[in-house]
Amino acid sequence: MTQDPLLRPLTVDEWGEAEYDAVGALMGVPGHDVPRAGSGEPRDPLRFDILGVLARHPAMARKFLVYNAFLLQRGELPLRLRELAVLRLAYARRSAFFWGEHVKIARAGGLSDDDIDALTRGNTGFDGIDRLVLEATDELLAHGRATPEQWQRLVDDIGTHQAMELIFVVGTYGMLAMACDTWQLSPPAGSAQLPD
């Protein structure tokens, strides 16, 4: 996306105690331990447009980021499976922002460029649990639910906790993609481009 965002991230001067507390909920630290905006540190909130946008509503962001931190950092669903689902969602929803953000995470989690390319062409390049997760993600996106048969396959192959988390990942990142695409956020410079 090249248009101006409809909701801009906070500027350096707009960060205050409530905003740092909200971001601290994601990082698992008190607000006073969050790197200051503009510090240039790796976890400087200015490096993450989505944090600067969500922090415009610090009370909501704090609650949401505690939940999202669980999915990202403490959930049982392996990063590879989570990122297969998120990238399929980003591709299916044509979310350039989430594609750009999550290709980096997916690569760090062990997905190869071949894996990432293959998931844009369907499910034939995958087997086993990878394929099961992609098929379940497709079903959730298409119908808003998994069939009883799909649910049972997930439970049998990855367990109840991971199956539950998969549904929450698809739902949560679908909501985030909807919000970020509504606000017309662009992926950071140098991010992977959403394939045609």
- Between residues 40 and 108, the one the model is more confident about: 40
The pair of structure tokens assigned to 120 is: 């844009």
pLDDT reported for residue 189: 84
CA dihedral 71, 72, 78, 82 (to 10 degrees): 80
Task: Render pLDDT for 120-147 as a digit per residue (tens, 0 to 9).
Answer: 999 999 999 999 999 999 999 999 999 9
Mean pLDDT of 29-46: 96
Helix (H, G, I), strand (E, B), or coil: what is residue 106? Answer: helix
Task: Render pLDDT for 71-124 as a digit per residue (tens, 0 to 9).
Answer: 999 999 999 999 999 999 999 999 999 999 999 999 988 899 999 999 999 999
- Residues with Cβ < 8 Å from 128, sequence gap 6 or more? none
Residue with tokens 């447009």: 49
Q: How far is CA 146 from CA 91, 132, 140, in A?
A: 19, 12, 6
What single-letter amino acid sits at 182? T
Q: Is the pLDDT of residue 1 over 50?
A: no
Task: Render pLDDT for 60-74 as a digit per residue (tens, 0 to 9).
Answer: 999 999 999 999 999
Mean pLDDT of 14-34: 97
**Contact assessment for residue 7 and residue 183, using Cβ atoms and an 8 Å cutoff:** yes
The pair of structure tokens assigned to 151 is: 């649910």
Q: Supply the Cα-derived Rg of the chain in whole angstroms.
A: 17
pLDDT reported for residue 188: 82
Task: Render pLDDT for 168-187 as a digit per residue (tens, 0 to 9).
Answer: 999 999 999 999 999 999 98
Measure the CA–CA gap between 24 and 27, rounded to whole angstroms.
5
**Contact assessment for residue 161 and residue 57, using Cβ atoms and an 8 Å cutoff:** no
What are the structural domains of the chain? 12-73 (no CATH), 77-182 (1.20.1290.10)
How far out from the chain centre does Cα 185 lie? 14
Q: Is the pLDDT of residue 2 over 70?
A: no
Say how many Å lie between the first and final Cα of the chain, rounded: 13
pLDDT reported for residue 148: 97
